Amino acid sequence: MAPPTVLAKINAATADAWGNCAGIAVAASGGDSTTSASYVSMAATSSFSFTKYLSTTSIKIDLHATFAVSAVSTSARFGVLINGVDYDICQMFINEANSRRNSSGSVPVALGLGAGVYTIQARWKRVAGAGTLQRFVTDDWLALCAAEVAP
C-alpha cells in the first residue's frame, strides 16, 4: 500500500522514509521543581528545533516524564510550548507524597501552523493540590518527540 499523499510529500521533503521527526531524551540533571499554576519551562531540559515542511500538516507530540509530588492529592500537567502557544499533552493525579510516577501522552497539536523551523520546549504546571512537583537529579527522565503528521 502506498503512503498517503501528505506522508509521501513529507518523506520527499526530508529524504527519509521514516518521515520528519526530532526529539530529546534527557535526565533532570540538577533537579527541577515547581508549584506554579501556570506553565513554566522544565529546567535542566533542552528545547529543540523542529522543521515543519508542509503547511497542511500537524505536529504530533509524544511526551513521557517521570516525577514525584511532595504532598498527597496533587496533579501535574505536562505540555509543550511551540511558537508562543502552550499545548496540553498529559496530566496525572498522585495521591501519595514522594511517590514516583510516569505521565505520558501523544497528541497532534499545532494544526494550521505554517511550514518553518520551530523551537519545542517541555513545560509543566501544578493543576491541583498543594504539593511541589519534583524531578530529581538523575532519577527522572523526559522523553520528548515531535513528528510531522497528516491532519
Q: How many domains does the chain have?
A: 1
Q: With 50 as the cut, is the pLDDT of residue 45 above it?
A: yes
Q: Residue 149: which pLDDT band, with cuts at 50, 70 and 90?
A: confident
pLDDT, tens digit, 9 for 90 and up, residues 108-147:
888 888 999 999 999 999 999 999 999 886 678 888 999 8
Instruction: For residue 68, tell me if it sits in a domain.
Output: yes
Q: With 70 as the cut, is the pLDDT of residue 3 above it?
A: no
Cα angle 89, 105, 3 (rounded to 5 degrees) comes to: 105
Instruction: For residue 4, tell me if it sits in a domain.
Output: no
Instruction: For residue 15, tell me if it sits in a domain.
Output: no
Count CA atoms within 13 Å of residue 34 on its CB side. Answer: 20
Structural domain harbouring 91: 22-149
- Supply the pLDDT for residue 127: 96
Residue with cell 510550548: 81
The enclosing domain of 134 has a CATH number of: 2.60.120.760
Instruction: For residue 59, tell me if it sits in a domain.
Output: yes
Under DSSP, the state recorded for 45 is: -
pTM value is 0.85
Instruction: For residue 12, tell me if it sits in a domain.
Output: no
Instruction: For residue 14, tell me if it sits in a domain.
Output: no
